[in-house]
């Protein structure tokens, strides 16, 4: 009986630490059920925002909203008048991907001043991002 008891104790000493580490790792990886509403990539900072439905005092930002509306119409065939402005803000991007890196492409390090415009049609959002001197590009954020 002493041999079986010793074998059980040895098994516990080997298995318990592995189980504890596995539980800790899995707990750290599991989703907490909350979803962030801010798709700001690491390193990007938003400096101003225009409330939905109200005109902005920033003419350049208003121009970018109009550009985003035209791009949604071009890219998706949506009537610009049907789009709601969810977010319109100036952003300082950490690199020239403007928050939307594509594949294995390399980007110039920033900072790059630019914009994030989020328009919505019902529950569907259209996110366009870019720099001050670049055309906005659609950014398909993983949610």
Both tokens of 69, joined, read 């509306």
Residue 5 lies in a domain: no
Parent domain of 76 = 45-138
Residue 15 placed within a domain: no
Rg, Å, the chain Cα set? 24
Q: Which residues of 79-99 are buried (b: 16+ CB within 10 A; e: fewer)?
A: eeeebebebbbbbebbbbbbb
- What is the per-residue pLDDT across 60-96, written as a single tens digit (0 to 9) for each? 999 999 999 999 999 999 999 999 999 999 999 999 9
Number of structural domains (the chain) is 1
Q: Is 112 a member of any domain?
A: yes
83 falls within a domain: yes
* Residue corresponding to tokens 């098994």: 11
49: β partners: 89
Q: Is residue 32 part of a domain?
A: no
Residue 36 lies in a domain: no
Mean per-residue pLDDT, 87-111 = 93
Distance between CA atoms of 120 and 17, rounded to whole angstroms? Answer: 50
Residue 81 domain-assigned (yes or no): yes
Q: What is the pTM of this model?
A: 0.61
């Amino acid at each position: 009986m002493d041999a079986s008891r010793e074998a059980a104790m040895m098994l516990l000493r080997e298995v318990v630490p592995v189980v504890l580490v596995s539980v800790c790792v899995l707990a750290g990886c599991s989703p907490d059920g909350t979803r962030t509403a801010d798709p700001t990539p690491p390193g990007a900072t938003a400096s101003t925002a225009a409330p939905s439905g109200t005109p902005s005092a920033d003419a350049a930002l208003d121009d970018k909203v109009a550009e985003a509306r035209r791009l949604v119409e071009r890219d998706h065939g949506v009537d610009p008048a049907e789009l709601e402005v969810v977010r319109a803000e100036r952003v300082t991007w950490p690199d020239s991907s403007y928050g939307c890196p594509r594949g294995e492409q390399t980007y110039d390090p920033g900072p790059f001043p630019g914009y994030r415009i989020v328009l919505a049609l019902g529950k569907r959002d259209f996110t366009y991002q870019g720099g001050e001197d670049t055309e906005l590009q659609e950014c398909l954020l993983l949610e």
